[in-house]
Amino acid sequence: TGLTMSLHSVSLSSSVLQACISHALTSEKEEVMGLLLGSVTRSRANVTHLKVLKREDKRPDRVEVSIPQLTSASTFAEKHKCRIVGWYHSHPHITIHPSHVDVRTQKLYQMMEEEFFGLIVSVFNHDQANLGRIQVIAFQSVGLSKASKEINVIPVELSLIHIS
């Protein structure tokens, strides 16, 4: 069987959304990334924490997770009684839509954990009235073939999740 969308919605705490956007706004010239932590219940990801990651790739339009950073995020998640449920990265000055690299990266993550999802924060873009615009999209890959670039967009909800 191929990869299918296993999530129907993603709920972000307001502090996580604010942190993702703030992190994305730190660099106009290169993408930034982090990991999203929380839980998944009944096809809904509830994101309560995030772990900002240090850039490792020298190419400005690529991000990757190093093993030490992944280990640190896992330890952080255990301490907060949650798990890594997704990743986020920025698209400075480019469209919100996942690139072929994003789709391929997401596919690899989903092969290890089918509920895993990606979140893209598009920043430093302007609309027709030349007003600054920030957009957020959550997605999962569909299909196992290398040629498949299909994605499913997942509704993102802002919720006031109580964090103890």
Whole-prediction pTM: 0.84
Using one digit for the tens of pLDDT, what is the confidence trace for 77-95? 999 999 999 999 999 999 8
* 13-43 pLDDT tens trace: 999 999 999 999 999 999 999 999 999 998 9
Q: Give the pLDDT confidence of 98-111 residue by residue, as tens digits.
A: 998 898 889 888 88
Q: Strand order of the sheet with strand 132-141?
A: 151-154, 132-141, 117-126, 83-92, 33-41, 44-53, 9-13, 156-159
Q: Which has the minimum average pLDDT: 20-34, 62-76, 129-143?
A: 62-76
In degrees to the nearest 10, what's the CA dihedral of 139, 144, 149, 153?
-20
